[in-house]
Amino acid sequence: MAAAEARGAWCVPCLVSLDTLQEVCRKEKLTCKSIGITKRNLNNYEVEYLCDYKVVKDMEYYLVKWKGWPDSTNTWEPLQNLKCPLLLQQFSNDKHNYLSQVKKGKAITLDNNKALKPAIAEYIVKKAKQRIALQRWQDELNRRKNHTGMIFVENTVDLEGPPSDFYYINEYKPTPGISLVNEATFGCSCTDCFFEKCCPAEAGVLLAYNKNQQIKIPPGTPIYECNSRCQCGPDCPNRIVQKGTQYSLCIFRTSNGCGWGVKTLVKIKRMSFVMEYVGEVITSEEAERRGQLYDNKGITYLFDLDYESDEFTVDAARYGNVSHFVNHSCDPNLQVFNVFIDNLDTRLPRIALFSTRTINAGEELTFDYQMKGSGDISSDSIDYGPAKKRVRTVCKCGAVTCRGYLN
């Protein structure tokens, strides 16, 4: 690689992970600035995680995986030489978590040779690799997001890692043949949109927000925010959804069998904007086709854009934002609203989720998958909510008012 750099810049597509490339470089004693391996750090050793544990002559040893080095270079190091208190604590926590999952009669940590049981060591390595993978995914999500709130990822339940076929986006992704005109035809000239005749009035509806930036209109009423043609500035009280999520949220692994979920890390006041529901915009016909495939997998990511018509659907299965991971509840704390900003095509509203009550820090966020932008959840209608479903899916929300099924 160093020779290649000397001859001139060139590159080829590579599907190998950065870690693997670094390991190859160090093993072959090559340098490559593009992946962070230089002559200065070629022989550096940093503890990436701890793999195993044993006691020899009353001295404790840990098997160390060195960052950027292949497993073949792992070495046993005495505890007194390790200056990584966080990794030591994680090793201890993972060991205790494993033991808590096995029967008391089998909870023997060391074998006769005072070495850690192989099953325990294997579990600890898997948790360490999972932790690294989730941290990288968290970093990627925060690089891709365009809103203020931070995104965190947490899994203390199982060994599930990041989803393999999910791509983070910040706005609708139209499929071929669908055009999103993101330029309004008119805008306001208000000096104070809260008191003057503004965009909502032009659309024949009320201003959606009060002075505390809380929604004051009933479900089913559309939100018309100021757009790029308006003369008001970014502090306009009618620019809320377009500013994106303001709260730090955590994608976490649920313990009730619902897979991933989303919880807030800060208190959210009632009637506040929380997030948008985004994904691929597809036709109703395509949604019907994909819906049959999703039925067989038991997943629900289709959201019909049926504010005035039923021509388009949002599919957040592969492309989406944090809302992709929000679970259903028959007693939700989020409410759906249709929003129009730069695109005023009533067939293609943006979908915004607002809090229905005060949501405390650490509480899971949920919305009703059968809820339309109109606020209607009548069982008389079949094609509402995210996903037209043909196979009844059992609901696991646990609410007192649970209907028993997602559809």
Give the tens place of pLDDT for each residue, 303-361: 999 898 889 999 999 999 999 999 999 999 999 999 999 999 999 999 999 999 999 99
- For residue 366, how many other CB atoms are within 10 A of its CB? 23
- For residue 324, how many other CB atoms are within 10 A of its CB? 22
* pLDDT of the residue at 1: 45
Q: Which of 172, 224, 277, 301 is catalytic?
A: 277
Instruction: Please report which confidence band the pLDDT of residue 377 belongs to, taking 50, 70 and 90 as the band edges.
Output: very low
8-12, 20-24, 148-152, 182-186: which is most confident: 148-152
3-state helix, strand, coil split of the chain in percent (to 5) is 25, 20, 55
Which of 52-66, 365-379, 389-403 is least confident? 365-379
Cα separation, 35 vs 142, in Å, equals 21
- For residue 77, how many other CB atoms are within 10 A of its CB? 17
Which of 27-36, 334-343, 375-384 is least confident? 375-384
Cα separation, 80 vs 240, in Å, equals 54
Mean pLDDT calculated for residue range 27-50: 77
CATH T-level fold of 42-104+115-144:
OB fold (Dihydrolipoamide Acetyltransferase, E2P) (2.40.50)
Instruction: Please report which confidence band the pLDDT of residue 383 belongs to, taking 50, 70 and 90 as the band edges.
Output: very low
Mean pLDDT calculated for residue range 251-269: 96
Mean pLDDT calculated for residue range 74-95: 96
Write the burial class of residue 257 (CB in 10 Å: 0-12 exposed, 13-18 middle, 19+ buried). Answer: exposed
Instruction: Please report which confidence band the pLDDT of residue 286 belongs to, taking 50, 70 and 90 as the band edges.
Output: very high
Residue 43 has pLDDT above 80, yes or no: no
Cα separation, 294 vs 148, in Å, equals 32
Q: Tens digit of pLDDT for each residue in 105-146? A: 455 666 666 889 999 999 999 999 999 999 999 999 999 999
Asked whether the beta carbons of 34 and 4 are under 8 A apart, the reply is no
Residue 380 has pLDDT above 70, yes or no: no
Cα separation, 95 vs 97, in Å, equals 5
3-state secondary structure of 8: coil
* pLDDT of the residue at 298: 77
Active-site residue, 53 included: no
* pLDDT of the residue at 338: 97
Average pLDDT, the chain: 87
Percent of the chain scored above 90 by pLDDT?
A: 67
Mean pLDDT calculated for residue range 230-236: 94
Residue 3 has pLDDT above 50, yes or no: no
Asked whether the beta carbons of 273 and 354 are under 8 A apart, the reply is yes
- Sorted by sequence, the CB contacts under 8 Å of residue 157 that are 6+ apart come out as 253, 254, 255
- Strand ranges, E, within 166-221: 167-168, 173-174
Which of 18-32, 60-74, 80-94, 257-271 is least confident? 18-32
Mean pLDDT calculated for residue range 69-94: 95
Question: What would be the CATH architecture of the domain defined by 147-367?
Answer: Beta Complex (2.170)
Domain boundaries, the chain: 42-104+115-144, 147-367
Q: Which residues are known binding-site members for Zn(2+)?
A: 188, 190, 193, 198-199, 226, 230, 232, 236, 330, 395, 397, 402
* pLDDT of the residue at 315: 97
Percent of the chain scored above 70 by pLDDT?
A: 86
Instruction: Please report which confidence band the pLDDT of residue 372 belongs to, taking 50, 70 and 90 as the band edges.
Output: low
Tokens 């492309």: give the residue: 319
Per the confidence metrics, is the pTM higher than 0.75?
yes
Which of 28-37, 42-51, 281-290 is least confident? 28-37
Asked whether the beta carbons of 188 and 286 are under 8 A apart, the reply is no
* pLDDT of the residue at 175: 95
- Sorted by sequence, the CB contacts under 8 Å of residue 340 that are 6+ apart come out as 203, 222, 223, 224, 225, 346, 349, 350
Cα separation, 156 vs 205, in Å, equals 46
Instruction: Please report which confidence band the pLDDT of residue 395 belongs to, taking 50, 70 and 90 as the band edges.
Output: confident
3-state secondary structure of 80: helix
- Sorted by sequence, the CB contacts under 8 Å of residue 168 that are 6+ apart come out as 140, 141, 144, 145, 320, 321
Strand partners, 394: 405
Active-site residue, 62 included: no
Q: Which of 98, 294, 369, 384 is catalytic?
A: 369
